[in-house]
Amino acid sequence: MVPKKILIVEDEEDVQELIQYNLRKNGFLCESALDGKTALTKADTYKPDLVLLDLMLPRIDGLQVCRSLKSSSTLSKIPVIILTAKGTESDIVAGLEAGADDYITKPFSPQVLLARIKAVLRRAEAPPPGENATIRIHNIEIDPGRHRTFVNGKEVELTSTEFKMLHFLAARPGWVFTRYQIVDAVHGPDYPVTDRSVDVQIVGLRKKLGKAGDLIETVRGVGYRFREED
Ligand code: CA
C-alpha cells in the first residue's frame, strides 16, 4: 500500500514534532508548515492526502487556509482536520462551515489523532451514495426514489423535511454537520432558519425513528452526526 501523505500545519514546534513522530511511527509520510502561507504553498507542491490544520496560525489563519483549500480547483478534495483548543465550539462550527472534514480538540492523544485521520481518509475514499441510491445502515433503510423510510423493515412516516435531514445525515455517517450545513443541504442557503428550528426537527425525527433515533447523535455546541457502522 502506498503510504499516505499528511501535511501538518502547526506553529507550536513541539506539538508539530510530536504529531510528526507519531504519524511516521504509524507509516505515514509527513511534511510540515509553521504558518498559513507556507501551508498553502506546501499543499500545492506536496499534494497531501490529508491536511491537519491548526486554526491559530501566523500570517494566514487556519480558517482562511481552509477556505482557500476548499475553494481551490485542484486542492478542494483534500480532507482537512482542524486542530483547535478545547471549549471553542464557535471555532469548530466556523471550521466545519469553511469546509473542514472533521476536528480534534487540543490537547489530544496520539491514539485519537490516528483514529480520526484513518476515519477521515476512509470516508474520503468512499463518497456518499448517489442522490437516488437506497441507503441501508444499521437497521434503517432509506429509499430516496420512493421517499420511504423503514426501521427494522417497518415503514416510518416522515415529513419531507425530516426525510431530507435523515437522508443527508445517514448518507454521510461519522461526519459532523453544523445546523447551518444541515439546513443548507435540506432547504438551500436562503431558507430562513434558527438553530432552534433545526433542533425541533431533529427531536421530531428521533421520536418517529424510536430506538433508531439514537443513531442521530448530538455533538454538543457543534451540531449533529449519524453514527457510523462498526
Ligand atoms: Ca497555533
Number of domains in the chain: 2
Q: How far is the CA of 34 from the centre of ligand 1 (A)?
A: 9
Ligand 1 mean position, distance from CA 84 (Å) = 8
Residue 107, preceding peptide bond in cis (omega within 30° of 0): yes
Dist CA 100 CA 170 (whole Å)? 19
Q: What is the pTM of this model?
A: 0.90
Residue 83 has a pLDDT of 95
| pLDDT the model gives residue 192 | 67
Cα-to-centroid distance, 31 and ligand 1 (Å): 17
Shared domain for 26 and 120, answered yes or no, is: yes
Q: What is the pLDDT of residue 66?
A: 97
Q: How far is the CA of 85 from the centre of ligand 1 (A)?
A: 9
pLDDT for 186 equals 87
With CA atoms as reference, report the closest residue to 89 among 179, 202, 213, 193.
179
- For residue 57, the CA-to-ligand 1 centroid distance in Å is 5
Q: How many CB atoms lie within 10 A of CB 83?
A: 23
Residue 193: which pLDDT band, with cuts at 50, 70 and 90?
low
Look at residue 111 in the predicted model and tell me its pLDDT.
94
- Report the CATH number that the domain containing residue 26 is assigned in CATH: 3.40.50.2300
Residue 16 has pLDDT above 70, yes or no: yes
Distance 15 CA to ligand 1 centre (A): 9
What is the SS3 string spanning the chain? CCCCEEEEECCCHHHHHHHHHHHHHCCCEEEEECCHHHHHHHHHHHCCCEEEEECCCCCCCHHHHHHHHHCCCCCCCCCEEEEEECCCHHHHHHHHHCCCCEEEEECCCHHHHHHHHHHHHHHHHCCCCCCCCCEEECCEEEECCCCEEEECCEEECCCHHHHHHHHHHHCCCCCEEEHHHHHHHHHCCCCCCCHHHHHHHHHHHHHHHHHHHHHEEEECCCEEEECCCC
Q: Residue 187: give its domain's CATH number.
A: 1.10.10.10
216 found inside a domain: yes
Give the whole-number percent of the chain exceeding pLDDT 90: 83
Residue ending a domain, among 93, 125, 157, is: 125
Question: Mean pLDDT over residues 205-219, rounded?
Answer: 97
Residues 159 and 110 in one domain: no
Query: Of the candidates 125, 144, 167, which is a domain's last residue?
Result: 125
Distance 49 CA to ligand 1 centre (A): 22
For 171-184, what is each residue's pLDDT tens digit? 999 999 999 999 88
Question: How many whole angstroms from 208 Cα to the centroid of ligand 1?
Answer: 44
Which of the residue ranges 23-37, 65-79, 99-113, 179-193 would you say has the lowest mean pLDDT?
179-193
Residue where one domain finishes, among candidates 125, 147, 180 = 125
Ligand 1 center from residue 33 Cα (angstroms) = 11
- What is the rounded distance in angstroms from the CA atom of residue 152 to the CA atom of residue 89? 35
Alpha carbon distance 100, 81 (integer Å): 6
In this prediction, residue 131 has a pLDDT band, given cuts at 50, 70 and 90, of: confident
Q: How far away, in angstroms, is 41 Cα from ligand 1 center?
A: 18
Shared-domain flag, residues 101 and 166: no
**Ligand 1 centroid distance, CA of 176 (Å):** 23
Residue 43 CA, ligand 1 centroid: distance in Å? 18
How many A from CA of 192 to the centre of ligand 1? 35
Domain housing 165: 135-226
pLDDT over 90 at 142, yes or no: yes
Distance 9 CA to ligand 1 centre (A): 9
**Ligand 1 center to residue 210 CA distance, Å?**
43
Q: Does 187 have pLDDT greater than 90? A: no
Question: How far away, in angstroms, is 77 Cα from ligand 1 center?
Answer: 24
Could you tell me the distance, in angstroms and rounded to a whole number, from the CA of residue 149 to the centre of ligand 1?
45
Q: Are residues 121 and 14 in the same domain?
A: yes
Q: Is 130 inside any structural domain?
A: no
**Sign of the alpha-carbon dihedral angle for 216, 219, 220, 223:** negative
